[in-house]
Amino acid sequence: MADPKGFLSTDREVAKTRPVDERVKDWNEVYVPGSLLPIISKQAGRCMDCGIPFCHNGCPLGNLIPEWNDYAYREDWRAASERLHATNNFPEFTGRLCPAPCESACVLGINQPPVTIKNVEVTIIDKAWDAGDVTPQPPERLSGKTVAVIGSGPAGLAAAQQLTRAGHTVAVYERADRIGGLLRYGIPEFKMEKRHINRRIEQMRAEGTKFRTETEIGRDIDAAKLRKRYDAVVIAAGATTSRDLPVPGRELNGIHFAMEYLPLANKVQEGDLTTSPITAEGKHVVVIGGGDTGADCVGTAHRQGAASVTQLEIMPRPGDERNANQPWPTFPMLYKVTSAHEEGGERIYSVSTTHFEGDEDGNVQWLHLTEVEFKDGKLEQKPGTERKIPAQLVTLAMGFTGTDQKNGLVEQFGLELDERGNIARDADFATNVPGVFVAGDAGRGQSLIVWAIAEGRSAARGVDRYLAGASELPAPIRPTDRALMV
């Protein structure tokens, strides 16, 4: 146990963020660099090393949280990093971006603020990189088997790293010009600076993983050719088809999917563009969708100099406390104030967009909405609540409907889909096509980075068993797992 009295003597303290005025003028991460290190050992000392660590079940990766809290408390950073990497290939991603369902399941959280697990995680991995403890781990011998991974998001990267380390020769195919999936082109720089992806890719290259960018499977290379060239295939192509809003005026200029808007801002940060062709500068911005993707649009619009930012959500405002039907240790739906929300803008709940209105040049100018309420379990419009708000840039952040089928990937492989439109798989993450596996959002549907990594690790075990007959790789989850409802 870290500090037997830590949870009694130390209050919860989290990473400090930079002042809003300062951070909206740049794109760097919102945190004060180095602010965690002086406090984190004491924070880790709040861990009670419970007999049954519910945080393990809260974390889809099954991270060994009390073990690394103990090492962090003792400032044995190398040992902490070793335990962290035992279950998580990329803790620098989850330590920055995970909604931390582990903290919702922390036993201390029953009647006190939980341990700052996520902050401990990111400190351990940042220290490990700084100390040079994160080194390539190439396999001792090669199996002679080859694997193609389609998609370079967290699921594809985790599968590729596991399979490379198991001795297989792995090539990752990515249709975008850079590796990283939504980590690279969805999530803005102010949530995670892309240098964290770049150094992981360097580690993976040094271990032997090959990367092929600007290659879309189904279009540039067809499925039959890929099957012939490789002994197994992992599809980790994400769920990148955006949900649309087919209301009158949708065709007006200035209405974009979030995933048309955000990647361009990220491309400016990569140095590919000087300014984004879709910018919020000087405009009244409306973001439709109250989730993480919407919050990323809000933060991006602030940094581009929007005149105003309004975020709309069709569902009612979540509560500040757990509902009775979401008891500890489940992951509750709570009202969240993200860093982007701290920076300004207005959030409007229980509203639905009825139509858009434009000017004579076809540019969107107004968004018409109405309030909605639940009646007999159904959302209905409230008569007499119609109004319009200024909207010169609208981003649609209402989620994703499944994996992209336009390139023929699903059809060419002959893949079966499940009832939700995701690629169907069995307990080993194998699809209906022998030797073809699926991991991440492509099989699970739109989810989280921590699930994508867990799926990539688990699918890698399925592939290894298929290729070698047995596997020593871990499989933290099964496809149907929903650890504590996240």
Ligand X SMILES: Cc1cc2nc3c(=O)[nH]c(=O)nc-3n(C[C@H](O)[C@H](O)[C@H](O)COP(=O)(O)OP(=O)(O)OC[C@H]3O[C@@H](n4cnc5c(N)ncnc54)[C@H](O)[C@@H]3O)c2cc1C
Q: Which residues sit at the interface with ligand SF4, rule CB under 6 A? A: 58-59, 61, 63, 65, 94, 98, 100-102, 117-118, 121, 450
Q: Is residue 152 a contact residue for ligand X (CB under 6 A)?
A: yes
> Tokens representing 25?
């003028």
Contact between 156 and ligand X (CB under 6 A)?
yes
- Comparing CA positions, the residue from 436, 431, 429 lying closest to residue 452 is 429
- Return the DSSP state at 424: P
Smallest distance, Å, CB 98 to ligand SF4? 3
When asked if residue 233 is in the footprint of ligand X (CB under 6 A), the reply is no
Q: What is the residue type of 202?
A: E
Among 101, 114, 358, 440, contact with ligand X (rule: CB under 6 A) = 440
CA 272 – CA 317 distance, rounded (Å): 38
Q: Decide if 313 contacts 421 (C-beta within 8 A).
A: no
Number of residues that bind ligand X (CB under 6 A): 40
118 binds, among ligand SF4, ligand X, none (CB under 5 to 8 A by kind): ligand SF4
CB of 288 to ligand SF4, least distance (A): 28
Which does residue 66 bind out of ligand SF4, ligand X, none, counting CB within 5 to 8 angstroms by kind?
none
Outline where 377-425 has alpha helix (H): 409-413
* Nearer of residues 91 and 153 to ligand X, judged by Cβ: 153
Comparing CB distances to ligand SF4, the nearer of 101 and 249 is: 101
The C-alpha atoms of residue 371 and residue 384 are separated, in whole angstroms, by 9
* Three-class SS state of 331: coil
Cα separation, 49 vs 3, in Å, equals 9
69: burial class by Cβ within 10 Å (0-12, 13-18, 19+)? buried
The CB-of-442 to ligand SF4 minimum distance in angstroms stands at 20
Round to whole Å and give the CA distance between 399 and 170.
31
Q: Is omega for the bond preceding 329 within 30 degrees of 0, making it cis?
A: yes
Q: Per CB under 6 A, does 153 bind ligand X?
A: yes
Q: Which does 445 bind (CB under 5 to 8 A by kind): ligand X, ligand SF4, none?
A: none
Task: Supply the minimum distance, in Å, between the C-beta of residue 55 and ligand SF4.
Answer: 7
Question: Site map for ligand X, 197-216, x if CB under 6 A?
Answer: -------------------x
Instruction: Output 117 or 409, the one with its CB closest to ligand X.
Output: 409
Q: Which has the closest alpha carbon to 301: 313, 312, 291, 286?
A: 286
Would you say 87 and 57 are in contact if contact means Cβ atoms under 8 Å apart?
no
CB environment 231-262: b (16+ within 10 A), e (fewer): bbbbbbbbbbbbeebeeebeebebbbbbbebb
Site string for ligand X, 235-274 (x = CB under 6 A): -xxx-x---------------------x------------
Residue 117 interacts with, from ligand X, ligand SF4, none (CB under 5-8 Å by kind): ligand SF4
Closest CA to 59 of 451, 434, 392: 451
170: contact with ligand X by CB under 6 A: no
Helix then strand then coil, in percent of the chain rounded to 5, is 35, 15, 50
173 binds, among ligand X, ligand SF4, none (CB under 5 to 8 A by kind): ligand X
Minimum distance of ligand X from residue 120's CB (angstroms): 18
Residue 149, strand partner residues: 172, 234
Determine, following the binding rule CB under 6 A, whether residue 449 of this chain makes contact with ligand X: yes
Nearer to ligand X among residue 205 and residue 355 (C-beta): 205
CB of 150 vs ligand X, minimal distance in Å: 5
Minimal distance in Å, beta carbon 121 to ligand SF4?
5
- Contact residues for 452 (Cβ-Cβ < 8 A; gap 6+): 153, 154, 155, 158, 236, 439, 440, 441, 444
**Can you tell me whether residue 46 is helix, strand or coil?**
coil
Closest approach, Cβ 130 to ligand X, in A, equals: 24
The minimum distance between CB 479 and ligand SF4, in angstroms, equals 19
For 74, the token pair is 């003792």
Report the alpha-carbon distance of residue 17 to residue 31 in Å, rounded. Answer: 4
Residue 156 near which of ligand SF4, ligand X, none (CB within 5-8 Å, type-dependent): ligand X
User: Rule CB under 6 A: is residue 103 a binding residue for ligand X?
Assistant: no
> Which residue, 169 or 293, has its beta carbon nearer to ligand X?
293
CB 391 within 8 A of CB 368: no
Is the sign of the CA dihedral 272, 273, 274, 279 positive or negative?
A: negative
Shortest approach of ligand SF4 to residue 84 CB, angstroms? 9
CB 481, min distance to ligand X, A: 15
Tell whether residue 407 is a contact of ligand X (CB under 6 A). Answer: yes
Binding partner at 293 among ligand X, ligand SF4, none, C-beta below 5 to 8 Å by kind: ligand X
> Which is nearer to ligand SF4, 116 or 293 (by Cβ)?
116
- Residues engaged in binding ligand X (CB under 6 A): 97-98, 150-156, 173-176, 181-182, 186-187, 191, 216-218, 236-238, 240, 262, 292-293, 296, 404, 407, 409, 440-442, 447-450, 452
